[in-house]
């Protein structure tokens, strides 16, 4: 008989279909992102827009963050099944817009819609973990999610490269349209119906407005010309997000859990740790391939796989610590955060002065730190929220990560 927190317990007849559905939802976001990055030169050659590459990325991230922040509220109002199916339809629509785009402006609009769907799917998958799996299995489920990201890191560039080489980049988007439709059908069949919440709560308009302003300004900082303009955009964007936390903590109808800005709580402190760990490492994920190509003479594919060492370390160590006893979880969080700091410092040196294998080792170390602490950090964030706000706290984890 399998123990309550074993892999066999996760793969029993009741939980295995839910587990597969969850992995498909994460795959849609992870693989789509990597495939799209690979085919972007082919997109620009056909419909133009080389100078607006950054806007396609910014539009997708903007949509992902906005939808991810609203996903917890959406699951409460519509129920998990209806909210997830709606997100899947939105994602498929965005992919279809990309596949049919006659110009780059339409393509960017499609990426925005795609981001809305993908961000909601990921956040709702996190909500599904706490709603559909026993707490003893959460670390193993989070480890499996890391495994999906690892697989996407390996297969995404390969898939995109094959479509680009065949001169049929639109086919990559049609492939994800089909997967999105399959996901929606599976959600309607596998996810149990839940009663909708009463429609008494109001839409948190002020929080949404501050979120839109903050995320838009930060996204614009990456594409506007001039260092001063970019710096001001980033500064005002961070200020808007800080105001969001302040307003959210005092509001009756909240977008995030009330404790999101309270560092004396496990939820607020955990979200802050997630934010700063991701902020410290985001430069490697976004600009690492370009630096590796310029400084180490690597090909685009090789540079992508070098940065993929982050996913390899994350995946391997997530599986390694998934069965850790609860009394050791705090130690895992502290150890993982310390290893992340070492990986960041080591990577900064190796990227400029070291060799390619040194970069690989530092990126693997960085990922290992996340793998050791991530599942237990997310568990503390969710577990520290009041009963009525656990869906909001769960959705806040991937949103903060983005």
Splitting the chain (402 residues) into consecutive groups of 10 residues, what average pLDDT does each group show? 61 80 88 77 77 74 80 80 93 94 90 92 85 80 79 76 82 93 92 60 76 82 81 90 85 77 83 86 76 79 78 84 83 93 93 90 93 86 75 73 68
Contact 92/117 with Cβ under 8 angstroms? yes
pLDDT at res. 173 = 92
Q: How far apart are CA 390 and CA 402, in angstroms?
A: 19
Q: How far apart are CA 163 and CA 169, in angstroms?
A: 5
Radius of gyration for the alpha carbons in the chain, expressed in angstroms and rounded: 20
Contact 292/351 with Cβ under 8 angstroms? yes
Provide the 10 A C-beta neighbour count for residue 299.
10
pLDDT at res. 131 = 79
Provide the 10 A C-beta neighbour count for residue 52.
16
Q: How far apart are CA 134 and CA 147, in angstroms?
A: 20
pLDDT at res. 200 = 45
Q: Copy the structure tokens of residue 112.
A: 């925005």
pLDDT at res. 152 = 80
Q: How far apart are CA 17 and CA 42, in angstroms?
A: 37
Q: Record the pTM.
A: 0.76
Distances in whole angstroms, Cα of residue 29 to Cα of each of 1, 98, 267, 277, 398: 35, 15, 25, 21, 12
Q: Copy the structure tokens of residue 333.
A: 């969080």
Contact 295/353 with Cβ under 8 angstroms? no
Q: Which DSSP letter does residue 120 get?
A: H
pLDDT at res. 1 = 42
State the virtual CA torsion across 309, 304, 215, 89 in degrees, nearest 10. Answer: -100
* 359 Cα distance to chain centroid: 24
């Amino acid at each position: 008989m399998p123990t309550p927190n074993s892999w066999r317990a996760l793969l029993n007849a009741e939980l295995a279909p839910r587990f597969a559905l969850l992995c498909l939802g994460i795959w849609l976001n992870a693989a789509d992102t990597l495939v799209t990055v690979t085919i972007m030169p082919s997109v620009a050659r056909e419909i133009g827009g080389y100078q607006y590459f950054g806007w396609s990325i910014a539009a997708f991230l903007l949509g992902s963050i906005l939808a991810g922040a609203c996903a917890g509220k959406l699951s409460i109002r519509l129920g998990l099944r209806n909210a997830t199916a709606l997100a899947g339809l939105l994602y498929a629509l965005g992919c279809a817009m990309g596949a049919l785009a006659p110009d780059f402006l339409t393509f960017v609009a499609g990426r925005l819609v795609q981001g809305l769907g993908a961000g909601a799917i990921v956040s709702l998958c996190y909500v599904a973990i706490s709603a559909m799996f026993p707490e003893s299995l959460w670390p193993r489920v989070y480890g499996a999610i890391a495994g999906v990201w690892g697989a996407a890191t390996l297969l995404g560039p390969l898939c995109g490269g094959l479509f680009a080489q065949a001169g049929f980049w639109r086919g990559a988007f049609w492939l994800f349209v089909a997967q999105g439709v399959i996901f929606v059908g599976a959600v309607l069949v596998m996810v149990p119906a839940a009663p909708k919440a009463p429609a008494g709560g109001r839409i948190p308009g002020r929080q949404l407005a501050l979120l839109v302003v903050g995320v838009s300004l930060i996204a614009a900082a990456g594409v506007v010309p001039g260092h001063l303009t970019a710096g001001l955009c980033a500064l005002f964007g961070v200020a808007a997000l800080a105001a969001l936390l302040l307003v959210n903590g005092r509001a009756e109808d909240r977008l995030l859990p009330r404790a999101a800005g309270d560092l004396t709580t496990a939820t607020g402190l955990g979200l802050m740790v997630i934010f700063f760990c991701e902020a410290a490492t985001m430069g490697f994920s976004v600009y690492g391939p370009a630096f590796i190509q310029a400084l180490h003479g690597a090909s685009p594919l090789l540079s992508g796989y070098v940065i993929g060492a982050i996913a390899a370390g994350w995946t391997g160590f997530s599986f390694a610590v998934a069965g850790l006893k609860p009394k050791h979880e705090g130690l895992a969080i502290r150890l993982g955060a310390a290893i992340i700091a070492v990986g960041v410092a080591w990577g900064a040196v190796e990227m400029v002065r070291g060799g390619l294998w040194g970069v690989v080792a530092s990126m693997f170390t960085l990922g290992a730190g996340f793998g050791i602490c991530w599942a237990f950090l997310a568990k503390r964030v969710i577990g520290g929220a009041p009963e009525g706000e656990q869906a909001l706290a769960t959705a806040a984890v991937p949103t903060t990560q983005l």
